[in-house]
Amino acid sequence: MKKQLLSFGLCLFVGLSAVSAQKYSNEFLAIGVGGRAHGMSGAQVALTDDITAAYWNPAGLSQITSPLQAGAMHAEWFGGVGKYDWIGFGKSLNREHNSYLAFSLIRLGIDNIPYTINLVNADGTINYDNVTEFSAADYAFMGSYARKLRNPALSVGGTVKVIRRVIGSFGGAWGFGADLGAQYRKGPLMLGIQGRDLTTTFNSWSFNLTDDIRSTWAATGNELPVSNTEITNPSFVLGGAYRFKVGKETTLTPALDFIWTTDGQRNVLISSNAISIDPRFGMEADYKKFLQLRVGVGNFQRVKDDFDPTKENLSLQPNFGVGIRFGRVKIDYALTDIGNVSAVQYSHIFSVLLDFKEKKK
């Protein structure tokens, strides 16, 4: 009985542990969307130019040339236990496509978690019919707008985010935040900047624990959560890309992003007590706008040496990807460690983009 109750307590505690972790608040929003982006390790702030720009840099939505565009992505890790999904839809607001409106939804969830608190009856017998299931899921609803300025090389955009985090019927949080971005494109040169969580995105948590849960947690030595608010500090992404022509039908585009976080020292390539800087590099080769091959490297960290704890080694995460376009449909695939678990636990990411033609009048 104690083992069953303890397993439930530990499972729920893992879900609630992020409540007090202000430094890594809303980390599910740090994963990113789109197979193209993941194949390039997320180096997208200057390069993004489709519906995924609502996440990477909303200013990039102004580069979409189709009047309507939709996209979706699915990824799994831990043997399919964790599922990450994204869907987005955007529409041009004028014939010149100078302004664009988009809506997106992100979900990260672990479903079918056994709820075993009622497994053991009062008389000590076990009744598996009393085992139910619950889900722990994080949602982000995003509305984005972008437009080109009078200088056609410059565009700006913004995203507002409504966040919903749910742990079964035990607890949940509502939050709000906003991002702003800009892009500059002149010939083959692309520059971009994004400010994330500029409103210091917050999550307001509340919990609904029954007397049975409270007594079980007290009996197993777990700390009861209390309603509180967690804050996500602003961060900034600066980057650039340059498109080279290689022959008549092939282009090569390297891209480099720098992510500046302001929530204290992190285990990244450049870190200090005030800010930390995490670089990401990607490369895309495009043939006739039909086939794309991508590579990327990111997630630079210093890790202890397995044989000498006094030494640290620099680790990095390589990513790979491929894209192909069939008319108005574009399919992207990436092989990447989406969960940042280790250098050998990679995930397969698939995404699709669909352009719609404008109706004839």
Task: Give tens-digit pLDDT for 216-235.
Answer: 777 777 777 777 888 888 99
Q: How confident is the model at residue 158 (pLDDT cuts 50, 70, 90)?
A: very high
CB 103 within 8 A of CB 89: yes
Residue 361: inside a domain, yes or no? no
Q: Of the segments 6-20, 52-66, 268-282, 330-344, which one has the largest average pLDDT value?
A: 52-66
Average pLDDT of the segment spanning 338-359: 73
Q: Which residue has the higher pLDDT, 77 or 345?
A: 77
**In the chain, pLDDT over 90 holds for what percent of residues?**
49
Please report, for the domain that includes residue 222, its CATH number: 2.40.160.40
What six digits make up the tokens of 328? 């108005």
Residue 321: is its pLDDT beyond 80? yes
pLDDT value of residue 9: 38
Q: Which residue has the higher pLDDT, 117 or 36?
A: 36
Predicted TM-score of the model (pTM): 0.83
Q: Average pLDDT of the chain?
A: 84
What six digits make up the tokens of 65? 């040339």
pLDDT value of residue 345: 62
Residue 35: inside a domain, yes or no? yes
CB count, 10 Å around CB of 330?
Answer: 22
Residue 100: inside a domain, yes or no? yes
pLDDT value of residue 23: 61
Q: Which residue has the higher pLDDT, 340 or 59?
A: 59
Total residue length of the chain: 361
- In tens, the pLDDT along 281-319 reads 999 999 999 999 999 998 888 887 777 777 888 888 899
DSSP state of 24: G
Place of tokens 């890309």: 241
Residue 244: inside a domain, yes or no? yes
What six digits make up the tokens of 314? 């620099």
Q: How far is CA 142 from the centre of its chain?
A: 12
Residue 143: is its pLDDT beyond 50? yes
pLDDT value of residue 332: 97
pLDDT value of residue 343: 44
**In the chain, pLDDT over 70 holds for what percent of residues?**
89
| Pairing assessment for the beta strands 347-356 and 68-77 based on DSSP bridges | antiparallel
> At residue 213, what are phi and psi to the nearest 5 degrees?
-65, -45
CB 67 within 8 A of CB 356: yes
Q: How confident is the model at residue 178 (pLDDT cuts 50, 70, 90)?
A: very high
Q: Where are the alpha helices (DSSP H) in the chain?
A: 2-16, 35-39, 53-56, 211-219
Q: Report d(CA 94, CA 128) in Å as an integer.
A: 59
What six digits make up the tokens of 228? 């509180």
What six digits make up the tokens of 137? 């899921």
pLDDT value of residue 24: 66
What six digits make up the tokens of 302? 């210093």
pLDDT value of residue 322: 97
Place of tokens 């040169």: 189
- In tens, the pLDDT along 251-265 reads 999 999 999 988 878
Q: How many domains does the chain divide into?
A: 1
pLDDT value of residue 359: 59
Query: 129: helix, coil or strand?
Result: helix
Average pLDDT of the segment spanning 181-206: 92
What is the span of the domain harbouring residue 251?
Answer: 2-356
pLDDT value of residue 134: 82
Q: How many CA atoms lie within 13 A of 85 on its CB side?
A: 9
Q: Report d(CA 50, CA 102) in Å as an integer.
A: 10
pLDDT value of residue 28: 86
- In tens, the pLDDT along 68-122 reads 999 999 988 777 778 899 999 999 998 766 899 999 999 999 888 887 777 777 7
Residue 274: inside a domain, yes or no? yes
Residue 171: is its pLDDT beyond 50? yes
Residue 352: inside a domain, yes or no? yes
pLDDT value of residue 14: 38
Query: 79: helix, coil or strand?
Result: coil
Of residues 208, 207, 220, the one with CA closest to residue 4: 220
pLDDT value of residue 121: 72
Q: How confident is the model at residue 358 (pLDDT cuts 50, 70, 90)?
A: low
pLDDT value of residue 330: 96
